[in-house]
């Protein structure tokens, strides 16, 4: 492998991916592992994330060496004790923590007047407070050795208005600002912090709600407004790799052809 390709590789890295039971999180975990990184996947229910680890480990067995292993951990990112335990389990299993992908998120569509205080707090807690918990808990380990990378998942709804998504948009806007601020604060620790703002992505949740399947998406078609989880995983892999060594504090919008308002990724 040439040096230029080595810069895109995650081989030998250890990555934590939150919200990895399906959709974008699972695609990121699978792509990182296929590239040689050991990955830790988590979700709020162990039974939802165990199949992800089993599939990745089966692929590792079949690859006979050039594939990362996987550990599944039950973790609610709004619970700081659970997040601390997630980081501890990662370091105990794989010896380090090099990359954190803050993907866990949730939302629902509602007009601002119809959002309850509990509904607002729940969405902000998972999307923004969860990112805070995981990033702060991982900080010291990310700064060890040659430094590390944080990849946050925001949304185009955090960059501009998205009707019926005021709670989600406000939380994701907070994630974007947090990304920019931490990039400055942590540059001296050799930790890069970047963000992805997906547009409309054909996740299982979108398929259930709107009947749009990833199988219907042609990645070769430029003129489209819907992407796949794997396309977002490609961006995450780049931002986590040394190929993005001159990027920090950036938010990369992955949204296809802009045509007015987009639906968010969660």
What per-residue confidence (pLDDT) applies to 261?
A: 47
**Residue 203: both structure tokens together:** 């996740």
What per-residue confidence (pLDDT) applies to 234?
A: 98
Under CATH, domain 3-200+232-254 is a member of which superfamily? Answer: NAD(P)-binding Rossmann-like Domain (3.40.50.720)
Active-site pick, 94, 168, 186, 200: 168
What per-residue confidence (pLDDT) applies to 193?
A: 98
What per-residue confidence (pLDDT) applies to 211?
A: 61
What is the pTM (predicted TM-score) of this model?
A: 0.93
The SS3 call for residue 82 is helix
Q: Report the run of H or E that residue 254 belongs to, with start and end.
A: strand 251-254
The SS3 call for residue 217 is coil
pLDDT averages per 10-residue partition of the chain, 266 residues: 78 98 97 98 98 98 92 98 98 98 96 98 98 98 93 97 96 98 98 96 68 68 86 98 98 83 48
Please say if 246 is a catalytic residue.
no
The SS3 call for residue 48 is helix
Q: What is the DSSP letter of 128?
A: I
CB 143 within 8 A of CB 192: no
**Residue 229: both structure tokens together:** 């989880």
Q: Determine the distance from the C-alpha atom of residue 256 to the mean position of all C-alpha atoms in its chain, rounded to a whole number.
A: 19
């Amino acid at each position: 492998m040439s040096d230029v390709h080595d810069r895109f590789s995650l081989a030998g890295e250890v990555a934590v991916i939150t919200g990895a039971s399906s959709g974008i999180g699972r695609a990121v975990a699978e792509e990182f592992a296929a590239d040689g990184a050991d990955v830790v996947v988590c979700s709020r229910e162990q039974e939802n994330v165990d199949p992800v680890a089993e599939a990745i480990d089966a692929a590792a067995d079949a690859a006979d060496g050039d594939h990362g292993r996987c550990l599944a951990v039950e973790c609610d990112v709004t619970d700081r004790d659970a997040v601390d335990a997630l980081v501890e389990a990662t370091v105990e299993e794989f010896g380090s923590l090099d990359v954190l992908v803050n993907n866990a998120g949730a939302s629902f569509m509602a007009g601002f007047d119809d959002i309850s205080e509990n509904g607002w707090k729940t969405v902000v807690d998972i999307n923004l407070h969860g990112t805070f918990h995981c990033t702060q808990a991982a900080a010291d380990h990310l700064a060890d050795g040659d430094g590390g990378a944080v990849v946050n998942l925001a949304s185009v709804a955090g960059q501009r208005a998205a009707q019926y998504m005021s709670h989600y948009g406000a939380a994701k806007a907070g994630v974007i600002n947090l990304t920019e601020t931490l990039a400055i604060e942590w540059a001296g620790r050799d930790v890069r912090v970047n963000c992805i703002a997906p547009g409309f992505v054909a996740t299982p949740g979108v398929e259930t709600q709107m009947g749009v399947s990833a199988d219907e998406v042609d990645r070769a078609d430029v003129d489209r407004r819907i992407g796949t989880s794997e396309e977002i995983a490609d961006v995450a892999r780049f931002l986590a790799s040394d190929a993005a060594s001159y990027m920090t504090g950036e938010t990369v919008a992955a949204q296809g052809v802009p045509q007015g308002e987009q639906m968010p990724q969660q």
